[in-house]
Amino acid sequence: MGKSHVLIIPYPAQGHVMPMIELARYLVQQGVKVTFVNTEVTQKAVTSNWQNTDGFDDLMMVSIPDGLEPWEDRTDLCKLTISILETMPGKLEELIEKINKEDSNKLNCVIADGGMGWAIKVSKKMGIISALFQPASAASLVPALCAQRLIEEGFISNNGIPLKNETIQLSETMPPIKPQNLPWACFKDSATIEAIFKVVSEVIEVSKMTEWYICNSTIELEPAAFSMFPQLMPIGPLLASNRLADQEGHFWQEDPTCLTWLDQQPECSVIYIAFGSFTILNQTQFEELTLGLELSNRPFLWVLRPGMTKETYPDGFMERVKSRGKIVSWAPQQKVLAHPSVACFMSHCGWNSTIEGVTNGLPFLCWPYFADQIQNETYICDIWKTGLGFNKDESAIITRDEIKSKVDKLLSDKMFRSNALDIKEKVTNSIKKGGCSNTNLTNFTEWIQKEATHDSTDQPDSM
C-alpha cells in the first residue's frame, strides 16, 4: 500500500500559512507525507523562523515564484493577487509533474487555501483529488458563496464593488453586514476590490469541483454559517496548543522574553495588544493608543511589529510606563494568551487571533483593520458577547479616553470573562476525541489515506 502524499498550498499571508502548517503537521503525525508549497518570499520568512522540525521528516517545505520581483511590495494586494493568478498555476503544474517523476509516493491529493482556488483547477487537470481549506471563519465565506445573489439584488456590481448602503441580511440567523464591510470590499481602491473579487469568484467556481471544503472553525462558534452551507466541514480550531507544541509559520522572530516578564505580573492583570501582520497605524492613532495604554494604569504587553508604524513614542512615554509596560516586535502568541497573567486581548480580530483568544477564555477589545476582521468583531461583540469594540471620533481616530473607558468597562464587568470561559469549553470539547471538529478531521484524514490505495469509492458528495 502506497503512502498518501498531499500537496498543501496556502495564500502567502501569515494568517493563512500558520493554520495550514498546523494541518500539515497533523497529517504527518497520522502517517501522511506532505509537500507544503509557499511563495519564495514566504518560504524565506517561514524557514528563517522555524523552531522545531523533529519528527517531521515527511513534511517537505518547497517554494514557487509569485511572479513579482524580490524587491516589489507584497502588501500591495492588488498587484500581488494579479501576479499570483498569472504566474503560479503554471509553476504549480511544473512542480507536481516534477514530484510525480522523482518521488515514489506520487501526489494523490491537493489541499488549496480558498485564496488559491486556481490550484484546484490544476489538480483537476492533472487527475488529482482535492480539498479546499478556509483558514478564516465560515461566516466570512458565506458572502462569497452568496455573491451571485448579492449581484442580482443590486448590493454589489459584477466586479464586487458595493453599490448600496443598505444592510445585507444573508439569512435570518446570520448577523447583518454592510456592503462596504464585505470581506473583499473594505479596501480603499476599486482596483484592489476587483482583484480580490476575482479570487472570490474563483472560489465559487472551484467549490463545485472539489471533494471537501474544510474550515478552521467549529459549529459551536458559528452555527448559522454551517447550517446555511452544510457542505462546509468544521475541523478546527487548528492550533499548535492542541499539540502542546511550538507554533510554526511565523514571518518574524518571536521574542520569548515577554513570557518571563508575564511571570512577574499579577494574575489576570495584563492587557495584551497585538494587531497581526497587516495593520498600519498613522501618527495620530499611534499616539492615542500609547497614551490610552498609559491612562489605563494597567500592565500591558504590546506587539509592535516592524513596519507597523513610522512614528515615535510621545515624549517621556517609555520612561513613564517602563515599570508596567513591555513592548516586543513579535510574540509567541499562543503561549502569551494561555498565560494566567493576561486579562484581555486587544486585537485586530484576525481569525487566528480570534480563535486563539477564544480557546484561552479571554475577553476582547476589538480593533479590526480590514477584510474578515470587521465581521469577526461582530461575532465577538454581538453574538458571543465576549468583547467590546471602540468608537471612533469625527476624524476616524480611537481616542485615548475611549481606550481607557473600554478597558475599564471590559475588565470591571465579569460577564465578558464568564461568556468567554463558556465558549472556551464548547470549542475545546469540539476538538477533543468524539467532538464534531475532531470527528470531521479524522474522517477527512481517513479519506485521504483510502484514496492512496486507489480502491475507495466512498467519497463525500461533490459540492
Q: Name the residue with higher pLDDT: 318 or 389.
A: 389
| Domain coordinates in residue numbering, the chain | 5-244+430-452, 257-412
SS3 for the chain is: CCCCEEEEECCCCHHHHHHHHHHHHHHHHCCCEEEEEEEHHHHHHHHHCCCCCCCCCCEEEEEECCCCCCCCCCCCHHHHHHHHHHHHHHHHHHHHHHHHHHCCCCCCEEEEEHHHCHHHHHHHHCCCEEEEEECCCCCCCHHHHCHHHHHHCCCECCCCCECCCCCECCCCCCCCECHHHCCCCCCCCHHHHHHHHHHHHHHHHHCCCCCEEEECCCCCCCHHHHHHCCCEEECCCCCHHHHCCCCCCCCCCCCCHHHHHHHCCCCCCEEEEECCCCCCCCHHHHHHHHHHHHHHCCCEEEECCCCCCCCCCCCCHHHHHCCCEEEECCCCHHHHHCCCCEEEEEECCCHHHHHHHHCCCCCEEECCCCCCHHHHHHHHHHHCCCEEECCCCCCCCCCHHHHHHHHHHHHHCHHHHHHHHHHHHHHHHHHCCCCHHHHHHHHHHHHHHHHHCCCCCCCCCCC
pLDDT on residue 248: 61
Check residue 44 and give its pLDDT: 87
Q: Does 57 score more than 80 pLDDT? A: no
Report residue 54's pLDDT band, with 50, 70 and 90 as the boundaries: low
Q: Which has the higher per-residue pLDDT, 310 or 415?
A: 415
**pLDDT digits over 150-201, tens only?**
999 999 999 999 998 899 999 999 999 999 899 899 888 899 999 999 998 8
> So what's the pLDDT on residue 450?
87
Looking at the chain, the whole-number percentage of residues with pLDDT higher than 70 is: 92
Whole-prediction pTM: 0.91
Superfamily of chain region 257-412: Glycogen Phosphorylase B; (3.40.50.2000)
CATH topology of 5-244+430-452 equal to that of 257-412? Answer: yes
Fold assignment, 5-244+430-452: Rossmann fold (3.40.50)
